[in-house]
Amino acid sequence: MIIMKFGGSSIADADRVRHAVDLVRASLSRQPVVVVSAHGKTTDYLLAAAHTARGGVIDISAVTDYHARLIADLGIAPTLCDDLFERLEGFVRGVSLIRELTPRTVDQILSFGEQCSTRIVAAHMQQQGMPGVAVNSFDIGLETDSRHGAATPLPGIDASLASHVRAVDGIPVVTGFLGKDASGSITTLGRSGSDFTASIIGAALQVEEVQIWTDVSGVMTCDPSVDPRARSLAQLSFEEASELAYYGAEVLHPSTLVPAIRKGIPVRVLNTMHPEDAGSIILPDSALTPAAAKSIVYKEDVCLITVASARLMSAVEILSKAFGVLSEGGIGVHMAATSEATVSLVTDRDYDEKTIAHALERLDSLGTVQVSRGQAIVCVIGEELKSRVRILEEIFSRLGEQGIKARMVSQSATEINIAVLIRNDEIATAVTSLHELILAAPA
Ligand code: ASP
Ligand code: MG
């Protein structure tokens, strides 16, 4: 068995749906279980409709027009999703009346994207003589906690999930992104969460391989829009890919590898538009390349917060208190450094003024606080770093040649990741010059 997961762009119009279904047909001998995202930008349209409704206006036409077009182009039953649209309109109407939008309602509204796409893809499969069956993940035991918008599957769901999927009479086409909590409410796994669904179901079924079909030819050596010389990586380890996803490489939802690691299942990233490309395979262990590292990733718009103790408080005390304040404020931390009485923390993303101001008020009691916004983390990732004794020197000299000064550095204890704090406006130059470290070696 394999999982074949198709992202929104891979099923964005009728031609792409046909193409995706052709890819499934070509893999029939491997007993595929299909997982799909919502078509194209449906989730964005749904989110916009939810927010418009909070302002009192009911408008789901972006969603219904787009799907009507897709359904017509594919020549499937025009009423296929009508009951879903009716229910969607009901929820949106409810929001417009009470002018309140809870995270629970947002998840309910967003769920219509994948509920429609599974039906449409399964219907097209049937048209093509393949027994596609639309399946709602929330009806087959994909149970999660109740963190709407960022839910995590509950432990111990594998057996029930696997037996439900196996019981489907045909080729299951399962909703990505969605789950259900203990009270029966629909939850979502975070934006781009269908990758995560693919690996959750893959782990439950202990498949041979989880395939993520997307619009790039695998995991790249860096963002090709920053440096067009970027090339795709044939192979990476779970650990490398996790670091990559965590530090902002958009190819995989950051949690995707957790279930795969648990069961040691290979994850392959493939390009729907170029299925002949080998893509990248993510395996328990990495193959070392002749380069200095595997990939350069970056995260823009993070904040640097520095707290200098006014009183005699040790860095450890400041650190523990500061972490407490930030986590209560819902602020995540990506990097930390301490000196005797100073603590520097880098947030995991940009936060609005209000959130930062609120945290600062509370951090003030610890000492003098300084905040710099518009910062970026550039990260060099790869098992190769371990054996490269002069790597820090290489990184600093490349950045230095470009006039870029590292404001903070961290190297994880696993040694496969070196993160450097720079400014947003230095990203392109920093990534391109560090990418040379990888390009310097033969492909
Ligand atoms: N449809 C969801 C989103 O747009 C999930 C996904 O695409 O993976 O975020
Ligand atoms: Mg995606």
Query: What confidence tens digit (pLDDT) does each residue in 327-360 have?
Result: 998 899 989 988 888 899 999 888 888 898 888 8
CA distance 426 to 353: 23
Ligand 1 atom with minimal separation from the 190 CA: 9
Distance in Å, CA 360 to ligand 2 centroid: 34
Residue located nearest, by CA, to atom 4 of ligand 1: 43
Distance in Å, CA 286 to ligand 2 centroid: 23
Residue 247: CB partners within 8 Å, gap ≥ 6? 297, 298, 299, 334, 377, 379, 381, 417, 419
Instruction: For ligand 1, say whether the CB of 41 is within 6 Å of any of its atoms.
Output: no
412-to-141, 245, 262, 382 alpha-carbon distances in Å: 37, 15, 22, 12
Distance in Å, CA 187 to ligand 1 centroid: 13
Instruction: For ligand 1, say whether the CB of 175 is within 6 Å of any of its atoms.
Output: no
Phi, psi of 281 (to 5 degrees): -115, 135
CA distance 289 to 363: 44
The pLDDT of 296-323, averaged and rounded, is 87
pLDDT of residue 41: 98
Counting ligand 1 atoms within 8 A of each CB, the residue from 194, 199, 252, 272 with the most, and so the one to mutate, is: 194
Q: What is the CA radius of gyration of the chain?
A: 23
The full set of domains in the chain, from first to last, is 2-214 (3.40.1160.10), 295-439 (3.30.2130.10)
Counting ligand 1 atoms within 8 A of each CB, the residue from 6, 11, 37 with the most, and so the one to mutate, is: 37
The pLDDT of 235-245, averaged and rounded, is 92
393-to-3, 365, 378, 426 alpha-carbon distances in Å: 43, 38, 16, 19
Residue located nearest, by CA, to atom 6 of ligand 1: 192
Distance in Å, CA 176 to ligand 1 centroid: 8
Instruction: For ligand 1, say whether the CB of 38 is within 6 Å of any of its atoms.
Output: yes
Instruction: For ligand 1, say whether the CB of 40 is within 6 Å of any of its atoms.
Output: no
Residue 186 has pLDDT above 80, yes or no: yes
AA letter at 285: D
pTM: 0.90
pLDDT of residue 442: 63
Residue 260 has pLDDT above 60, yes or no: yes
Distance in Å, CA 204 to ligand 1 centroid: 21
The long-range contacts involving 125-131, CB below 8 angstroms and separated by at least 24 positions, are 125/21, 125/24, 125/171, 125/173, 127/74, 127/75, 127/76, 128/21, 128/25, 130/21, 130/24, 130/25, 130/28, 130/171, 131/169, 131/170, 131/171
Instruction: For ligand 1, say whether the CB of 116 is within 6 Å of any of its atoms.
Output: no
Distance in Å, CA 246 to ligand 2 centroid: 14
SS3 156: coil
AA letter at 49: A
Residue 85 has pLDDT above 90, yes or no: yes
Distance in Å, CA 38 to ligand 2 centroid: 11
Instruction: For ligand 1, say whether the CB of 177 is within 6 Å of any of its atoms.
Output: yes
CA distance 362 to 360: 5
CA distance 189 to 424: 29
CB 293 within 8 A of CB 439: no
DSSP string, 185-196: -EEE-STTTHHH
442-to-216, 221, 289, 394, 439 alpha-carbon distances in Å: 22, 13, 9, 18, 7
**How many percent of the chain have pLDDT more than 90?**
80
Nearest bound ligand to the CA of residue 47: 1
Counting ligand 1 atoms within 8 A of each CB, the residue from 42, 114, 191 with the most, and so the one to mutate, is: 191
SS3 79: coil
Residue 443 has pLDDT above 60, yes or no: no
Nearest bound ligand to the CA of residue 253: 2
Residue 115 has pLDDT above 70, yes or no: yes
Helices and strands in the chain: count of H runs, count of E runs: 13, 16
Average pLDDT, the chain: 94
